[in-house]
């Protein structure tokens, strides 16, 4: 039997009347649920940020108190025990090496042990091990963004050649110099930032257990040109690369540290070449370096966005 005329239109009209409130309620429920989810995420993020901030404040307060206590005891006139001073400098080295130049404290204790005869070989070995641990930690961190080269020094050869021996002559570049598109050896960005490093060992001071180095570094992109850095300096176990380093152009740094010394045989040192952003908190960049670095980053971002 055929439906009466107009029945279909009336049905759609009634269906619209019935479904519209349901759709409205469903949309409202979804909107409310999404809004609650976003608010929950924001609340969790705020809580997490607050926890991190409070933990950082607590850690800073603890480190401040520990630093004050250790330094007060170390600098006290009555502090004469070598073992106690080594323990205090170990605490400072393992906790504050990124922000504090602790080399003078190490060298003070070393003078007491090696030069004044107030300590034992075991205490000297313990002192040098603490310094080597910090150096290894710092060079590992610097190597993540820079370059670390090992220098092998033959003490017998150095004694035969008082004019000095060559320890390194090599072209180096930072990892940030390559845009990752191709072979770094043919990458134009690498070629524009390539530096020639030349390191000579000139002399060994047996009492201080330090070497005199001559470091020459070429300008970026001109490895065969006249060096922009040509310096002589002494370096030993107690010179830490994040603080005791040589400034280069483009906000970069390099440093040489002593890692191993076997008397009358050989020594092993490390050359670290790294961006200035990885230097210690104490070694703040100059304003012109910051501006130039920002301009280079902006220019590099524009080059990477090009098809």
Contact between 255 and 231 under an 8 Å Cβ cutoff? The reply is no
Mean pLDDT (the chain) is 80
Higher pLDDT, 274 or 17: 274
**Comparing 43-52, 84-93, 129-138, 202-211, which segment has the lowest mean pLDDT?**
43-52
To which residue do tokens 């190597």 refer? 143
Determine which of 155-159, 189-193, 206-210, 245-249 has the lowest per-residue pLDDT on average. Answer: 189-193
Task: Specify the higher pLDDT residue, 282 or 40.
Answer: 40
CA–CA gap between residue 49 and residue 11 (Å, rounded)? 56
- Where b means 16+ CB within 10 Å and e means fewer, 160-193 reads eeeeebebbeeebbbebbbeeeeebeebebbbeb
Asked if pLDDT for residue 117 goes beyond 90, the answer is no
Q: How confident is the model at residue 15 (pLDDT cuts 50, 70, 90)?
A: low
CB count in 10 Å sphere of residue 239: 22
Does this model's pTM top 0.75? My answer is no
Average pLDDT over residues 223-233: 90
Block residue for tokens 């910051």:
290
Domain ranges of the chain: 62-305
Name the percent of the chain lying above pLDDT 70. 73
Q: What is residue 221's predicted lDDT score, i.e. its pLDDT?
A: 84
Q: Does residue 61 have a pLDDT over 90?
A: no
In sequence order, the β-bridge partners of residue 171 are 196
pLDDT at position 297 = 60
Q: Nearest Cα to 73, choosing from 85, 90, 86?
A: 85
Using CA atoms, how far apart are residues 217 and 233, in angstroms rounded to an integer? 14
Residue 1 has pLDDT above 50, yes or no: no
For residue 292, pLDDT over 70 is answered with: no
Least confidently predicted of 1-10, 61-70, 201-210: 1-10
CA–CA gap between residue 29 and residue 99 (Å, rounded): 54
Whether 255 has a pLDDT exceeding 90, the answer reads: yes
Q: How confident is the model at residue 29 (pLDDT cuts 50, 70, 90)?
A: confident
Q: Is the pLDDT of residue 306 over 60?
A: no
| Cβ atoms < 10 Å from Cβ of 58 | 10
């Amino acid at each position: 039997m055929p439906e009466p005329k107009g029945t279909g239109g009336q049905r759609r009209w009634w269906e619209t009347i019935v479904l519209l409130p349901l759709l409205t309620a469903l949309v409202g429920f979804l909107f409310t649920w999404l809004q609650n989810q976003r608010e929950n995420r924001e609340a969790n993020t705020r809580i997490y940020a607050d926890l991190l901030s409070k933990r950082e404040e607590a850690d800073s307060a603890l480190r401040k108190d520990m630093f004050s206590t250790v330094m007060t005891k170390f600098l006290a006139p009555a502090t004469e025990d070598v073992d106690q001073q080594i323990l205090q400098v170990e605490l400072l080295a393992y906790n504050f090496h990124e922000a504090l130049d602790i080399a003078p404290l190490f060298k003070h204790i070393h003078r007491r042990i090696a030069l004044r005869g107030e300590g034992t070989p075991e205490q000297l070995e313990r002192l040098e091990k603490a310094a080597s641990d910090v150096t290894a930690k710092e060079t590992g961190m610097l190597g993540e963004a820079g370059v670390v080269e090992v220098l092998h020094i033959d003490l017998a050869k150095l004694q035969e050649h008082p004019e000095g021996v060559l320890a390194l002559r090599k072209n180096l570049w930072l990892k940030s110099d390559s845009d990752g598109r191709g072979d770094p050896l043919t990458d134009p960005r690498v070629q524009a930032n390539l530096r020639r490093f030349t390191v000579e060992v000139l002399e060994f001071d047996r009492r201080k257990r330090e070497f005199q180095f001559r470091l020459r570094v070429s300008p970026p992109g001109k490895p065969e040109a006249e060096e922009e850095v040509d310096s002589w300096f002494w370096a030993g176990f107690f010179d830490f690369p994040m603080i005791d380093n040589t400034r280069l152009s483009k906000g970069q740094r390099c440093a040489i540290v002593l890692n191993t010394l076997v008397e009358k045989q050989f020594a092993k040192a490390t050359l670290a070449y790294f961006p200035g952003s990885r230097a210690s908190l104490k070694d703040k960049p100059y304003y012109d370096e910051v501006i130039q670095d920002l301009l280079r980053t902006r220019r590099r971002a524009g080059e990477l966005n090009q098809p």
